[in-house]
Amino acid sequence: MLEKTGVATEQDLAKAIPTKERLAKGPVAIIECFQRIPCNPCYTSCKRGAIKEFEDINDTPEINFEICNGCGVCVSNCPGLAIVVVDESYSNEEALVKIPYEFLPLPVEGSFVTGLDREGKPVCRAKVMKVLNTKAMDRTPLITLAVPKELSMTVRFMKHHDIYSDNTFICRCEELTLGELRELIRKGYNTIDEIRRISRAGMGPCQGRTCRQLIMQELAAATGKKMSEMPISTFRPPVKPIKLGTIAGGERGE
Binding residues for ligand SF4, rule: CB under 6 A, are 29, 31, 33, 39-42, 45-46, 48, 50-51, 61, 63, 68-74, 78-80, 82-83, 85
Please state the closest distance from residue 152 (CB atom) to ligand SF4, in A. Answer: 16
Please state the closest distance from residue 140 (CB atom) to ligand SF4, in A. Answer: 11
Is the CB of 129 or the CB of 222 nearer to ligand SF4? 129
Please state the closest distance from residue 139 (CB atom) to ligand SF4, in A. Answer: 16
3-state SS of the chain is: CHHHHCCCCHHHHHHHCCCHHHHHHCCEEEECCCCCCCCCHHHHHCCCCCECCCCCCCCCCCECCCCCCCCCHHHHHCCCCCEEEEECCCCCCEEEEEEECCCCCCCCCCCEEEEECCCCCEEEEEEEEEEECCHHHCCCCEEEEEEEHHHCCCCCEEECCCCCCCCCEEECCCCEEHHHHHHHHHCCCCCHHHHHHHHCCCCCCCCCCCHHHHHHHHHHHHHCCCHHHCCCCCCCCCCCCCCHHHHHHCCCCC
Please state the closest distance from residue 43 (CB atom) to ligand SF4, in A. Answer: 7
Please state the closest distance from residue 138 (CB atom) to ligand SF4, in A. Answer: 13
Is the CB of 37 or the CB of 124 nearer to ligand SF4? 37
Is the CB of 85 or the CB of 97 nearer to ligand SF4? 85
Is the CB of 85 or the CB of 219 nearer to ligand SF4? 85
Is the CB of 95 or the CB of 220 nearer to ligand SF4? 95
Please state the closest distance from residue 36 (CB atom) to ligand SF4, in A. Answer: 9
Is the CB of 85 or the CB of 116 nearer to ligand SF4? 85
Q: Do residues 62 and 51 touch, judged by C-beta distance below 8 A?
A: yes
